[in-house]
Structure 1
Amino acid sequence: MTGQEPAPGPGVACAGPGTPARSVSLLSARPVRLVLCLAPVLLAGGWAVTNRPVLDEGIRRLVSADPRWLSAGVGFTCLSWVAASCVRQGALPGRLPPGLLLASQFAAGAANHVLPGGLGAHAVTLRFLRARGVPLDRATASIGLYSLAKSSARTLVLLVFLAVSPAWRRLGELVPDGRLLMPAAVAGGVLAVAGLLLMVVRPLRRPVAGLARSALADARAVHSRPCRVFALWGGAVAMPLVQAGTLACVGASLGLGLPWEQVTLASLVAGSTAGAVPAPGGLAVDAALVWTLVAFGSLPAVATATVIGYRVLTDWLPLLPAALVLSALIRAKAL
């Protein structure tokens, strides 16, 4: 016994006399958590200020629209979050708390205005799954299965509507001959380069192979349970239909003048461009949607007003509440 205090080991905070090291770490983490809580609200406010003319125009047209059809559109919008929650649950073998899962999908809409291609929603969902104790490889595999089921179901629904609707003949006017060759060549080149990298670079091949094995194991586990299969594929089929239902309700409230099957087909065709153009907030989809509605016979002014009203109803009005829910989930350490 020398009477001297042992020196603190590496990684141990040197707290003052009587101050636990854990209190020091909590104090240092508090500003970071405060920034994370306020960031969604500040981003939502900044987006509203920069897009105020578009927001005012959409709200002005919605005020003069038929409120009964708009109420139905609000109902379809709420169903889209329920459908997304079903797909998220169906892509994971373990059970998630339904209320928090629905809240996370509602909050994910605010993150999608910052990151393109649905990455914001995936990031929120990944943090939610990790907070629920889901391992990183399983959480990542569930996001991959979610994306695969969503795109496959949308393609299936699109093919069904192309088969039953005669309006598909007008889609040829949207893309002139030869214009699809360049995107197809670029997509093929990207896939070829990715495959070559996986075969040559061993440090890259090992984690990808492990992730693929985990994804296949979870996919087998999910498809061995009928309730998960129904949630995964039923929700994936319902998502594009309820989104098209919102668009059809907004169009009916503004006098779009197109039957619902053509509006649904226009929504499916425009939605398929979301992954091709990495633009946050659905800007590329909106442009394609206006173009498709006009090709189906709608007046350009009415088609533009319908898309603006659709975006106000599905994205802009829920933006601030979704940002507040996102901040609340971060404060509650659910993300």
Structure 2
Amino acid sequence: MVPLVLVVVVAVRHRSVLVDGFAQLRRAEWPWLLAAVGATCLTWVAAAVTRQGAVVERLPGRRLLATQFAAGAANHLLPTGLGAGAVNLRFMTVCGVPLARSSAALALYLLAEGVARAGLLAVLLLVFPDALRLGSLLPDGTLGPLLAALGVLAVAAACVLALAGRLRSAAASFLRTALAEARSVHSRPARVLALWGGALAFPLLQAAGFAAVGRALGLPVPAAHLAVVYLAATAAVALVPTPGGIGSVEAALVVALVAAGAPVAAATAVALGYRIITVWLPLVPGALTLAALVRMKII
């Protein structure tokens, strides 16, 4: 809850910017907002396809799609990504997939989604190198310490695994299961297409929805640059443990949009509008769906 408290403090200190952002939402062009809503709905389909591609067994399609919709509401109860992971893990075990293989399928999904998102961002940055002025995002002299901190974390994790025998044994067992599951999945062309096609479609649809909101508000930034902004911002806050990314994602989007050349008020309006469409509008229906799935013992 600490990140949420910090977000509230920052929001109160910069409430005038938020007020200006909400005021600009009134002049948004509705056809583009509807396009953003459509892209958001398709992200649940892409997530369902990717989930199916990560497991050998055939999962019930309608229930799988409903589970992805409900997983968004679960993300608001736990740090980013853990809610959706818990819902999908439970769904696969109820469908008869053993817990070890369900966990391996979840890890494979996360790996595919991360690789697809990072690869897409890298390609877009190569094609549009001027989309972000990265130098304005980090103060001078902070890149080296940041990389050093990441290196220290990696070394610390390796030391923990090396010194804790039981933990090392469990990690080795999970790795063997995960590799066996990955080989089984990649021996089936249909699963490969679903896994990697869905993993690539998911961030593309998210970026398209974000670009549509930018177009709805007349943001003076090209659509391709908006896609780069979205992918870079969401990658930067992936490790911030706020439930549903609330606050951290909005802040990262505003900072990245300003780095791309957008005015602060317009950047705030776009970030707020996108998060309203993708987070707040589906929240109550998603929670009701989650409750119904639990009641029917689908999860």
Q: Deviations over 1:4-25 (max 9, x none)?
A: xxxxxxxxxxxxxxxxxxxxxx
| Residue of 163, 175, 188 corresponding to 2:126 | 163
Once residues 161 and 281 of structure 1 are traced to their aligned partners in structure 2, the CA distance between those partners, rounded to angstroms, is: 26
1:185 aligns with 2:119: no
Equivalent residue for 2:201, pick from 233, 238, 245: 238
Q: What residue number does 2:49 align with?
A: 86
Aligned to 2:281, what secondary structure does the other structure show? Answer: helix
1:37-48 aligned within 5 A: none
SS of the residue aligned with 2:236?
coil
Structure 1 residue 123 corresponds to structure 2 residue 86: yes
1:324 aligns with 288
Partner of residue 253, structure 2: 289
Deviations 1:245-292 (A, max 9, x none): 111111111111211011000001101123232222222222111111
Overall identity of the aligned pairs, in %: 51
Residue by residue, what CA displacement relative to the aligned partner does 1:50-96 show, whole Å, maximum 9, x if unpaired? x9x99999877545421111111111001111111111111111111
Structure 1 segment 1-335 matched on structure 2, within 5 A: 62=25, 64-168=27-131, 170-282=133-245, 283-335=247-299
Which moves more between the two structures, 153-162 or 272-281?
Answer: 272-281
Q: 1:162 to 1:95 in 2, by over 3 A?
A: same
**Which residue type is aligned with residue 288 of structure 2?**
L
Q: Distance in 1 between matches of 2:284 and 2:22?
A: 15
8 Å CA contact retained: 1:58, 1:312: no
Deviation at 1:134, TM superposition (A): 1.1
Tell me if structure 1 keeps the 8 A contact 2:79–2:241: yes
Aligned partners of 1:117 and 1:274 also within 8 Å: no
Residue type of the partner of 1:249?
A: A
Q: How far off its partner does 1:226 sit?
A: 0.9
Amino acid at match of 1:76: A
Deviation of residue 172 (structure 1)? 2.0
* Counterpart-to-counterpart distance in 1, 2:33 and 2:96: 40
1:294 Cα deviation (Å)? 1.1
Counterparts of 1:55 and 1:173 in 2: how far apart (Å)?
22
Opposite residue 93 of structure 2, the aligned amino acid is R
Moved more, 198-207 or 179-188: 179-188
What's the offset of the Cα at 1:316? 0.2
How big is each residue's C-alpha offset from its partner over 1:13-50, in whole Å with a ceiling of 9 and x where there is no partner?
xxxxxxxxxxxxxxxxxxxxxxxxxxxxxxxxxxxxxx
Larger radius of gyration: 1
User: Per the alignment, do residues 330 and 294 of structure 1 end up closer, same or farther by CA in structure 2, a change over 3 Å counting?
Assistant: same
Following the alignment from structure 1 to structure 2, what is the Cα–Cα distance between the partners of residues 92 and 333?
Answer: 21
Q: Quick check: 2:132–2:259 contact (8 Å CA) kept in 1?
A: no
In 2, the alpha carbon distance for the partners of 1:57 and 1:97 equals: 46
Counterpart Cα distance in 1 of 2:144 and 2:119: 23
- Most deviating of 170-179 and 237-246: 170-179
Secondary structure of 2:133's counterpart equals: helix
Tell me the TM-score normalized by structure 2: 0.89
Query: What amino acid sits opposite 2:254 in the alignment?
Result: V
Is this contact kept in 1: 2:116–2:199, CA < 8 A?
yes
Number of matched residues? 284
- Normalised TM-score (structure 1): 0.80
Which segments of structure 1 move beyond 6 Å, counting only runs of 4 or more? Answer: 53-60
